[in-house]
Structure 1
């Protein structure tokens, strides 16, 4: 009805202008003389049809920024191997959005392409992440370890979500931070934000916090290895169960040797596997909220876009896990997919980092920092107890 009313109103206005037009307007096709009239060099700017190519080329500056950011992040990782490439990409993205002379281009012409990288490239990277996980590897760790991982994820997620709401954090920040701490850092935040329709600023703030705490874990956890009485295998499982990003887990666990690194990666990938059911649950919740909102707004004729029950990239992630489990994928293909996944996620995290606005982060910095610290204690404490009970 609103659309019909708008059409009727527009038709009435158009007819009124036609009836009241001057003779000189009729001779120029309904335009006043000199206003948008055709010239010898072609139609005026107002009359030219929009070029479809502009919609695609407007993403090029931002994608170029992302490519440069990935190259710089790779260089930082090569020079300082303890710094994961994904962590470097987020930090460089934040820096690019605040350095004078660059920030205007990043937040201006580069914005569409960086937003595209933060969303679309993130999805592809998450799908390829599934090729790291095999069901045989998970079963090899035993049901006790699997139960420990589920307990850590559930306790961290709901504890962080509850505390974030109690602290009064804005928007979806409690949900996104809880997801990042409990599953796999910035990658999980990007996946959940896709189905929750989260504000870009909330996403950027959550990514910045989770990345910062994960980076600190690289330096702090190895110092606690021996004081906590953990052997190398236990330390590896503790790192895999408590550190956020896969790259940060590798950087933390490698300090205890190859055996610790192997267990850490397997435990971490078990957490990654829980990304699919979590995203599906958030999608169901989002559909319920929007359905309720649509019923409340039924009189105005508005309705929200219904997110899919299981997003396509989550289906792709599960398919990648199943494909890896079959053993049909050659090792060379798995290695190439791993490099591609790292590059895509680095580009996506650079884009998300460029959306961080530090002044806004500072305004809520106290509450965000408190939530980050408490969540860190929860995930580290629960996983430490779980490791001791299962080994």
Structure 2
């Protein structure tokens, strides 16, 4: 399942061999349409599980629907309830549906709204995101946490929780032959959901204890809490302690826009990491070929210089990231109807929940249990790092 869901990582690599016949776009489209019925069983199961996750979140708002969907996917896989006929559909949901959901996320963002926060708040956002991500990478190496798990946990904590993990999982590569990117993503989603919930409960009383003004409290909560929904909840708790109704409303609005300012950084980060990951994979592959050739020489075997070396170059921006940016531009430059934006937001949420089911279905529970402790520790540390850095910035600049 995990391999099938990730086969697209290499599907776009063009061979340098002139003997390779590349199918036309029209042929690929006809092939995809003809094969679509094979996807329906997996899509149906993922949609059903997503509906259950959505319902659970409606009754228990503190339980993220994305996390519940991941758990349901894990249970389906590890209890043997996914039939073989559903595998193609799960692979489709875990890749194509995931990316479509990320694209629609762009309609949540309006650049003018973010700029209205002022350059001081923007500086807090940039420094918090960059510092949290960089420290996450360094700590992950220090603790010897698997590469993909480190990148995804750092991304989810720095940017926007599970949605950021989902976006980054499309470009990051696991360096553990016994693990998959899906398993790393499941661990990261669990981490950012858990510690984002801790943050939304802890930061409002701390803001009151520190006597932060409503605007400053909104900036801090927006810059430090992980998920957009968690930011709304945390800001609502903080606003409940503000006696001035207009100041309370401004606190919530400031927190949400500050959070969306962090989300804006998702696209450039995914594009950068995607390019670095492809080059990293090419370097590792070249090293493996070189070692194999050296082994042939030492063993007295004929060296096979025809072994494939991947010389392809990744696109500057992955297509789904370009789509995300296009949606941001459309939202920023046009006055879209509120009903349309609400529908697009709901569609993005539903698509991402479905994708989380497929992602969870790529997880081997035994491996997750044995490897998740360090990753949860990393998530806890990064949550504290993000809170401290954003608080210092808020005190100095807001």
Fold agreement, TM-score > 0.5: yes
Question: Which digits, 9 at most, give the CA deviation of each residue in 1:168-223, with x for residues without a partner?
Answer: 11232211211111111222222222223443322222222222322333333344
Q: Which segments of structure 1 move beyond 6 Å, counting only runs of 4 or more?
A: 51-54
The answer as to 2:286 corresponding to 1:309 is no
1:278, distance to aligned residue in structure 2 (A): 0.8
The answer as to 2:285 corresponding to 1:285 is no
Question: Which digits, 9 at most, give the CA deviation of each residue in 1:233-290, with x for residues without a partner?
Answer: 3232222111222222222222233332211111111111111111121122124324
More RCO (CA 8 Å, sep 6+): 2
Instruction: Give 5+ residue unaligned stretches, structure 1.
Output: 5-50
CA distance in 2, matches of 1:248, 1:351: 23
The answer as to 2:331 corresponding to 1:324 is yes
The answer as to 2:197 corresponding to 1:190 is no
The counterpart of 2:219, out of the listed 227, 237, 253, is: 237
The counterpart of 1:247, out of the listed 229, 242, 245, is: 229
The number of equivalent residue pairs is: 339
The answer as to 2:65 corresponding to 1:74 is no
The two structures have a TM-score, normalised by structure 1, of: 0.78
Q: Secondary structure at the match of 1:184?
A: coil
For residue 160 of structure 1, what is the aligned residue in structure 2?
136
1:138, distance to aligned residue in structure 2 (A): 1.1
For residue 298 of structure 2, what is the aligned residue in structure 1?
none
The two structures have a TM-score, normalised by structure 2, of: 0.77
CA distance in 2, matches of 1:85, 1:387: 31
The counterpart of 1:262, out of the listed 253, 257, 271, is: 253
The counterpart of 1:127, out of the listed 94, 97, 103, is: 103
Aligned partners of 2:128 and 2:158 also within 8 Å: yes
Q: Secondary structure at the match of 1:106?
A: coil
The answer as to 2:126 corresponding to 1:144 is no
Q: Decide whether aligned partners of structure 1 residues 170 and 287 sit closer, same or farther in structure 2, where only a CA change above 3 A counts.
A: closer
Q: Decide whether aligned partners of structure 1 residues 265 and 76 sit closer, same or farther in structure 2, where only a CA change above 3 A counts.
A: same
The counterpart of 1:272, out of the listed 248, 263, 268, is: 263
- Cα RMSD of the aligned pairs, angstroms, is 2.6
Q: Secondary structure at the match of 2:276?
A: helix
CA distance in 1, matches of 2:231, 2:110: 18
Q: Secondary structure at the match of 1:195?
A: coil
Instruction: Give 5+ residue unaligned stretches, structure 2.
Output: 1-16, 19-30, 175-180, 240-248, 291-304
For residue 224 of structure 1, what is the aligned residue in structure 2?
206
1:144, distance to aligned residue in structure 2 (A): 0.7
CA distance in 2, matches of 1:230, 1:108: 56
1:53, distance to aligned residue in structure 2 (A): 8.4
For residue 37 of structure 1, what is the aligned residue in structure 2?
none
Aligned partners of 2:70 and 2:186 also within 8 Å: no
Q: Secondary structure at the match of 2:80?
A: helix
Q: Decide whether aligned partners of structure 1 residues 81 and 172 sit closer, same or farther in structure 2, where only a CA change above 3 A counts.
A: closer
Q: Decide whether aligned partners of structure 1 residues 166 and 127 sit closer, same or farther in structure 2, where only a CA change above 3 A counts.
A: same
Q: Decide whether aligned partners of structure 1 residues 300 and 72 sit closer, same or farther in structure 2, where only a CA change above 3 A counts.
A: same
CA distance in 2, matches of 1:238, 1:96: 39
